[in-house]
Amino acid sequence: MTTQSAVPDPRLVERLAQPTEEELASLDAWWRANNYLTVGQIYLMANPLLRETLTDDDIKPRLLGHWGTSPGLSFIYAHASRLIQATGQEMIYLAGPGHGGPALVAASYLEGTYTERFPKITQDTDGIRRLFRQFSAPGGIPSHVSVTTPGSIHEGGELGYVLVHAFGTVMDNPDLVTLAVVGDGEAETGPLEGSWKGISFLDPEHDGAVLPVLHLNGAKIAGPTVLARKDPAEVRSIFQGHGYEVIEVEGSDLPGMHNRFAAALAEAWSKIKAIQASARGGDWDGSRPHWPMIILRSPKGWTGPDVVDGVQMLGTWRAHQVPLSGVKDNPEHLALLEGWLRSYRPEELFDENGVPTELVQRANPSGDLRMTASPHANGGLLTVDLDLPDFRDYAIDVPSPATVRAESTRKLGELMRDIYRDNGDRFRLFCPDETNSNRLGAVFEVSNRAFAEKVFPEDVALSHDGRVMEVLSEHNCHGWLEGYTLTGRHGWFATYEAFAMVSASQTIQHSKWLQEADNLPWRADVPSLNILLTSTAWRNDHNGFSHQGPGLIQNVITTRGNIGRVYLPPDANTLLSVADHCMRSRSYVNLVVIDKQPQLQWLTMDEAIEHCTRGAGVWSWAGTDDGTADPDIVLACAGDVVTMETIAAADILREHLPHFRTRVVNVVDLMTLPRRKDHPHGMDETLFRELFTDHVDVVFAFHGYPGAVHQLVHGRPDADRFRARGFIEEGTTTTPFDMVVRNRVSRYHLVMDALNNARRTPPGASDLKAFCEAKLAEHDAYVVEHLQDMPEVRDWMLPDRSAGA
Ligand SMILES: Cc1ncc(C[n+]2csc(CCOP(=O)(O)OP(=O)(O)O)c2C)c(N)n1
């Protein structure tokens, strides 16, 4: 989607840059009101408008919150609101230092959205008292700009992600400007340092714009920040080097700061508009624009206590949290607090009933233009379902199990290609430089890679208007997708399995966000965060130990509640079915794990759909259990490579011990294993018994760390009987079969496990165990000699059992 964008009228920009006395009075009143409410939230539980002298009874017993960053956040916010009022610009506000929660809660309160979302927090004296009491309090709200804060899509608890979120919000969102405040402490984090590159992937024609405001308030929790102590010229050149046009504002004088910041914001906005007008108007040479950013130098704890107990507070790290401690027991601090609160002149800000005065309210934009009311920050409201092709059309023909080999993810690539084609403004793939490697390259038939820097003739599928996002940063990919989905659009993050751990913390943080959002009826469901892990531990043939790590599964199954989903489709048809489901789902974190290498195909499309619908099932064709009596052993598997080993193990058992009753169970939806009370996908006990019985031993071959199986089946009947095998950190650059041998999950290990744990020891068991040991020895010798797997393993398939074959 492209929208026209006109160069703004210079008179408008000039007017924006020079606030009138009247505008300044209102803007400053709004800022003072915000600061008042911020301090009140941190300290007060009664006497909210200081109608009486402050006493220790009015003070909360536990003083929890962060003052230092808050006045800077609200200062920027107030000015952004003025810009919105004057221009009608659609804007959202992301606070990197999310610990400045009270300032954003106060913004929402002053804009009226807080009362709209939480009617008990009325806009009157009692409402203010409740607002104060609930902050950082049991039964109340957290201290950050979290899920409960209207207008927020960025908690800012774990620092470092504000810019990646911001860039994700504006992709395919041409009318939106996302203002992202970056803390100078936050700017020291790895993810944030890498995220300035977002503009190298932004298309001014089809995307919106991010306006970063780097807030150099000088300090973090306990010391100075790097950027604040650098020579300003060095700082400037860092960001100029990233391609930004730097606008600087410094000081604490008022109203001087208001005037200078208004001018800076006007300049930044007009530059954004000019860039977009040029790109959308057809007179653009295609070079990467110099997007504006603002560097704001203002004191930490601005407008707060200057010196406390003889120690400098204002402008130092000491202002980070609660500048006046022990207020309940310290009359001097109590008096300082009262003076501080009164310095904002609350009588001008709230009328006799506690309603924000007209002077304050005048500074609010109206309706959905209020940043705390923006539908972009409640993206489910804007979500349009994907126009999905029928995934069955991409099916692989599987005449009989394990007779066809194919690269399963290639089929997913074809499906994604057509989703790209049919959903030009609401679907993107985010991948750290591996789209082709992960066999998803079909998407390049319909979209290039996004790239705003220079493009050379030898480049392939690369252009400024490309929409496949490839940047060698898992943090950027993950964060962009989060911003994209939280504003209502759909996508996938596809990455090497091991390197999903780089952004694992983002996966966890996003799960927490969705978990909390689930409790708030006004937060509309957003498209799920879909993560595809391919290039897995088992088949990283040309890489080594560093590339072998299935840890993300562990993280996702450990998240609380119903947000996390883990799918281990064993082949292409199950992958297609799972992917379709994920793209229709809302507000989940869907983790899909499947390797990209050619692999055996097991199920027809109809069988795959049935299997995926149940999440787990008996593959009766693979075992010797006819269902009339309990099997001797259950061979269970979850994951593509270990599924092959399990089926091969069952085949060896069938061949050598035809009367030994094996039952093969494949699990595609890992979350069917826990009890239903532990996860909504948990299968009911009857089905669990149907699959696993309640007493027969289960040899479980698992894609990830074996401990996960024990965690998942905890509380199931006789859970001790589950013998889990999986990745035990034995890895290197070696053959595929050597990987499963090293990790003791090869077909031969599984056969021996089955015999060792079966309810009865069948005649011939010791011969078969000896056979397996011999095979493993033969393998050891063969791979070293021939540098590849034994042909019987390498080319292993099942006989074709289809009719007429
Ligand atoms: C990744 C991460 N590491 C550490 C912290 C702990 N922490 C909370 S606030 C803060 C200092 C933040 O400084 P800055 O970004 O400059 O914010 P401001 O000074 O505006 O408060 C730190 C280190 C965190 N929240 N996230």
Q: Which helix (H) or strand (E) holds 230?
A: none
CA of residue 482 to ligand 1 center, whole Å: 21
Q: Which two tokens stand for residue 13?
A: 């920009």
For ligand 1, atom 19: residue with the closest CA: 220
What mean pLDDT is predicted for residues 345-361? 98
Dihedral in degrees, nearest 10, Cα atoms 76, 78, 79, 81: 120
CA angle in degrees (0–180, nearest 5) for 493-495-498: 135
Q: Which two tokens stand for residue 628?
A: 């009339």
Task: Give the distance from CA 331 to its chain's centroid.
Answer: 46
Distances, alpha carbon 785 to alpha carbons 11, 670, 735, 741, 790, in Å:
80, 38, 12, 16, 10
CA of residue 263 to ligand 1 center, whole Å: 29
Q: Which two tokens stand for residue 4?
A: 């026209």
For ligand 1, atom 25: residue with the closest CA: 158
Q: What is the pLDDT of residue 805?
A: 47
Q: Which helix (H) or strand (E) holds 382?
A: none
Dihedral in degrees, nearest 10, Cα atoms 607, 609, 612, 617: -20
**Which string of DSSP letters, residue by residue, matches 712-780?**
HHTTSTTGGGEEEE---S---S--HHHHHHHTT-SHHHHHHHHHHHSSS--TTHHHHHHHHHHHHHHHH
CA of residue 221 to ligand 1 center, whole Å: 7
Q: Which of 677, 506, 682 minimizes the C-alpha distance to 591?
A: 506
Cβ atoms of 317 and 300 within 8 Å: the answer is yes
CA of residue 234 to ligand 1 center, whole Å: 23
Q: Which helix (H) or strand (E) holds 339?
A: helix 331-342
Q: What is the pLDDT of residue 433?
A: 85
Taking the C-alpha atoms of residue 316 and residue 45, their distance in angstroms, rounded to an integer, is 27
Q: Which of 119, 91, 93 minimizes the C-alpha distance to 104?
A: 93
Taking only Cα atoms into account, the Rg of the chain, rounded to an integer number of angstroms, comes to 30
What mean pLDDT is predicted for residues 743-770? 96
Q: What is the pLDDT of residue 387?
A: 97
Using a CB cutoff of 8 Å and minimum separation of 24, what contacts does 791-795 make? 793/737, 794/737
Binding pocket residue ranges, ligand 1, CB within 6 Å:
68-69, 97, 99, 157-160, 183-186, 189, 215, 217, 219-221, 225, 300, 320
Q: Which two tokens stand for residue 291?
A: 């997007």
* pLDDT per position as a tens digit, 275-309: 999 999 988 999 999 999 999 999 999 999 999 99
Taking the C-alpha atoms of residue 58 and residue 449, their distance in angstroms, rounded to an integer, is 58
Grouping H, G, I as helix, E, B as strand and the rest as coil, residue 635 is strand
Confidence of residue 627 (pLDDT cuts 50, 70, 90): confident
* pLDDT per position as a tens digit, 565-619: 999 999 999 999 999 999 999 999 999 999 999 999 999 999 999 999 999 999 9
CA of residue 73 to ligand 1 center, whole Å: 14
Task: Choose which residue among 158, 159, 508 to substitute to test ligand 1 binding: the one with the highest number of ligand atoms within 8 A of its C-beta.
Answer: 159
Cβ atoms of 406 and 599 within 8 Å: the answer is yes
The size of the chain, in residues, is 805
Mean of all residue pLDDT scores within the chain? 96
Confidence of residue 561 (pLDDT cuts 50, 70, 90): confident
Q: Give the number of the atom of ligand 1 that is nearest the alpha carbon of residue 182.
A: 15
Cβ atoms of 106 and 38 within 8 Å: the answer is yes
Q: Give the number of the atom of ligand 1 that is nearest the alpha carbon of residue 158.
A: 26
CB within 8 Å of 711: residues ≥ 6 apart: 557, 558
Q: Which two tokens stand for residue 512?
A: 């927490």
| Cβ atoms within 10 Å of 423's Cβ, excluding its own | 19
What mean pLDDT is predicted for residues 207-226? 97
Cβ atoms of 165 and 154 within 8 Å: the answer is yes
CA of residue 479 to ligand 1 center, whole Å: 18
* pLDDT per position as a tens digit, 49-80: 999 999 999 999 999 999 999 999 999 999 99
Instruction: Provide the β-strand partners of residue 213.
Output: 181, 294
Confidence of residue 789 (pLDDT cuts 50, 70, 90): very high
Q: Which two tokens stand for residue 502?
A: 């780089």
- Locus of tokens 């920040």: 225
* pLDDT per position as a tens digit, 735-754: 999 999 999 999 999 999 99
Whether the predicted pLDDT of 804 surpasses 60: no
Task: Choose which residue among 220, 318, 512 to substitute to test ligand 1 binding: the one with the highest number of ligand atoms within 8 A of its C-beta.
Answer: 220
Taking the C-alpha atoms of residue 530 and residue 240, their distance in angstroms, rounded to an integer, is 35
What mean pLDDT is predicted for residues 151-170? 98
| Cβ atoms within 10 Å of 459's Cβ, excluding its own | 12
* pLDDT per position as a tens digit, 668-678: 999 999 999 99
CA of residue 99 to ligand 1 center, whole Å: 8
Q: Which two tokens stand for residue 536?
A: 């897995």
Taking the C-alpha atoms of residue 47 and residue 133, their distance in angstroms, rounded to an integer, is 11
Taking the C-alpha atoms of residue 117 and residue 486, their distance in angstroms, rounded to an integer, is 18
Using a CB cutoff of 8 Å and minimum separation of 24, what contacts does 650-653 make? 650/622, 650/623, 650/624, 651/622, 651/798, 652/747, 652/748, 652/751, 652/768, 652/772, 653/624, 653/751, 653/754, 653/768
Percent of the chain with pLDDT strictly greater than 70: 99
* Burial (Cβ within 10 Å: 0-12, 13-18, ≥19) of residue 252: middle
Instruction: Provide the β-strand partners of residue 297.
Output: 216, 250
* pLDDT per position as a tens digit, 437-493: 889 999 999 999 999 999 999 999 999 999 999 999 999 999 999 999 999 999 999
